[in-house]
Chains A and B, each alone.
Chain A
Amino acid sequence: RKEVEQDPGPFNVPEGATVAFNCTYSNSASQSFFWYRQDCRKEPKLLMSVYSSGNEDGRFTAQLNRASQYISLLIRDSKLSDSATYLCVLALYNFNKFYFGSGTKLNVKP
């Protein structure tokens, strides 16, 4: 069973649209959660951490639902520069390693 599951997409949206990604995880001992963004053939870059209370950073909002074991990312007012693969990432209690989802590809079109 995969630790982290994501819809691979692609999500094709017009500029200005709102788009949401979900991610489910299997291990209830998962401690910390993140969204990373990865451009083609580049390194993953931290977009935001995800907290139980939900958190927002500009156009980006992340939510965590521990009871249902999923996290979400909402992007409002999509920009062309938001086109990338969005990776759901989690860490267990010891933080010795991260588990990555396979990513959800977003294409924002003019």
Chain B
Amino acid sequence: EPEVTQTPSHQVTQMGQEVILRCVPISNHLYFYWYRQILGQKVEFLVSFYNNEISEKSEIFDDQFSVERPDGSNFTLKIRSTKLEDSAMYFCASSPDRDYYGYTFGSGTRLTVV
């Protein structure tokens, strides 16, 4: 079964540092998403991406966040200057089209900001 792959599985970073979380979506998928889940809380939408541009973003996705699809296979989330409250599990997801009923999540990157 095709998978969405995320790396690294766990990242520890100092507050104020930049981090890049990487995702390889399923190869024929066109829509890409980042979600996050703070420990003990619900999964929250960050951003959706299609045709090399952001389709929609949440209030969480402020100027410190950016996404990129640099080479046609990777999909990255960059946090420019991490804060303690950015500590969370970050999930990447992809779907073949917008009306797809339920998309596939990667196994996540656990980001710990210290």
Contact = CB atoms under 8 A, between A and B. Distances in A.
A103 B104 CA distance: 18
B18 interface: no
Nearest to B92: A43
Interface stretch (A19-27, A66-74, A94-102): A94-102
Interface residues on A, range: 20 to 34
B58 A87 contact: no
B102 A101 contact: no
B91 A94 contact: no
B45 A97 contact: yes
Interface residues of B, number: 25
Interface string A9-52: 00000000000000000000000101010100111111001000
Nearest to A34: B102
Contact of A41 (B43, B89, B100, B104): B89
Given A96-B56, A97-B33, A49 B101 contact: yes
A100 B56 contact: no
Interface string B16-59: 00000000000000000101000001111100100000011010
B71 interface: no
A46 to B, nearest CB: 4
A103 B42 contact: yes
Interface of B: 33, 35, 41-45, 48, 55-56, 58, 89, 91, 98-108, 110
Interface of A: 32, 34, 36, 38, 41-46, 49, 87, 89, 94-103
